Amino acid sequence: MPTDSTGPFAELGIADPLTRALAKLGYETPSPIQAQSIPLLLQGRDLIGQAQTGTGKTAAFALPILSRIKAGSKAPQALVICPTRELAIQVAEAFQSYARNIKNFHVLPVYGGQEMGTQLRQLKRGVDVVVGTPGRLLDHLKRRTLDLSTVQTVVLDEADEMLRMGFIDDVESILSHTNGKQQTVLFSATLPAPIRRVAERFLSDPVHVQIEAKTVTVDTTDQSYWMLNNNQKLDALTRLLEVEPFDGVIIFTRTRSATMELAEKISARGYACGAINGDMSQSARELTIRRLKKGKIDILVATDVAARGLDVDRITLVVNYDIPHDTESYIHRIGRTGRAGRQGRAVLFVTHREQRLLRAIEKATRRKLPPIQLPSDEEVLAQRRERFKTSITESLTARPAPIFAQLVKEICDETGETPSAVAAAMAELLQKDKPLDVKPTSAKPPPRKPARESQERERKPARESQERERKPKRQRNDESAENVENVDMQTYRLEVGRQHEVTPGNIVGAIANEIDIDSQYIGHISISDEYCTVELPAGMPPEIFQHLKKVRVKGRPLNLSLVKKPGAKTDRTDKPRGKKSGSGERKKPSKHSKS
- The 10 Å CB-count burial string (b at 16+, else e) for 78-102 is bbbbbbbbbbbbbbbbbbbebbeeb
Residue 299 forms beta bridges with which residues? 249, 273
Which CATH architecture describes the domain 221-365? 3-Layer(aba) Sandwich (3.40)
- 34 vs 12, 59, 62, 63, 154, CA distance in Å? 9, 7, 10, 9, 17
The proportion of the chain whose per-residue pLDDT surpasses 90, expressed as a percent, equals: 31
Confidence of residue 282 (pLDDT cuts 50, 70, 90): confident
Q: What is the mean pLDDT of residues 82-107?
A: 89
Query: What's the pLDDT tens digit per position in 243-270?
Result: 888 889 999 998 888 899 999 999 988 8
Cα–Cα distance between 462 and 467 in angstroms, integer? 10
Q: What is the mean pLDDT of residues 364-368?
A: 85
Domains 221-365 and 459-562 share a fold: no
Q: In terms of pLDDT, which residue wins out, 494 or 565? A: 494
Structure letter (DSSP) for residue 50 = E
Structure letter (DSSP) for residue 352 = G
Cα–Cα distance between 195 and 186 in angstroms, integer? 9
432-440, Cβ contacts within 8 angstroms, sequence gap of 24 or more? 433/270, 434/270, 434/384, 436/381, 436/384, 436/385, 436/388, 437/381, 438/377, 438/380, 438/381, 438/384, 440/377
Tally of CB atoms within 10 A around 199: 19
Tally the residues of the chain.
595
Structure letter (DSSP) for residue 467 = G
Confidence of residue 379 (pLDDT cuts 50, 70, 90): low
Q: What is the mean pLDDT of the chain?
A: 79
Statement: residue 349 has pLDDT above 70: yes
Torsions phi, psi of 135, nearest 5? -60, -50
Statement: residue 224 has pLDDT above 90: yes
69-83, 330-344, 363-377, 574-588: which has the minimum mean pLDDT? 574-588
Cα–Cα distance between 553 and 89 in angstroms, integer? 22
Query: Which 3-state string (H, E, C) describes 93-144?
Result: HHHHHHCCCCCCCCEEEECCCCCHHHHHHHHHHCCCEEEECHHHHHHHHHHC
Which amino acid appears at position 471 of this protein? K
The dotted CATH code for 8-210 is: 3.40.50.300
161-175, 209-223, 295-309: which has the minimum mean pLDDT? 209-223
Residue 41 forms beta bridges with which residues? none
Instruction: Kindly list the domain boundaries of the chain, sorted by start residue.
Output: 8-210, 221-365, 380-430, 459-562
How wide is the angle at C-alpha 424 spanned by C-alphas 420 and 425, nearest 5°? 120
Query: Which 3-state string (H, E, C) describes 346-384?
Result: EEEEECHHHHHHHHHHHHHHCCCCCECCCCCHHHHHHHH
Structure letter (DSSP) for residue 569 = P
The dotted CATH code for 459-562 is: 3.30.70.330
Cα–Cα distance between 216 and 595 in angstroms, integer? 36
Query: What's the pLDDT tens digit per position in 530-552?
Result: 899 998 888 787 778 888 888 88
Contacts of 176 (CB under 8 A, 6+ apart): none
Cα–Cα distance between 90 and 98 in angstroms, integer? 12
Q: What is the pLDDT of residue 133?
A: 92
Q: What is the pLDDT of residue 494?
A: 93
Query: What's the pLDDT tens digit per position in 227-248?
Result: 988 888 998 898 888 888 888 9
Statement: residue 111 has pLDDT above 60: yes
Statement: residue 12 has pLDDT above 70: yes
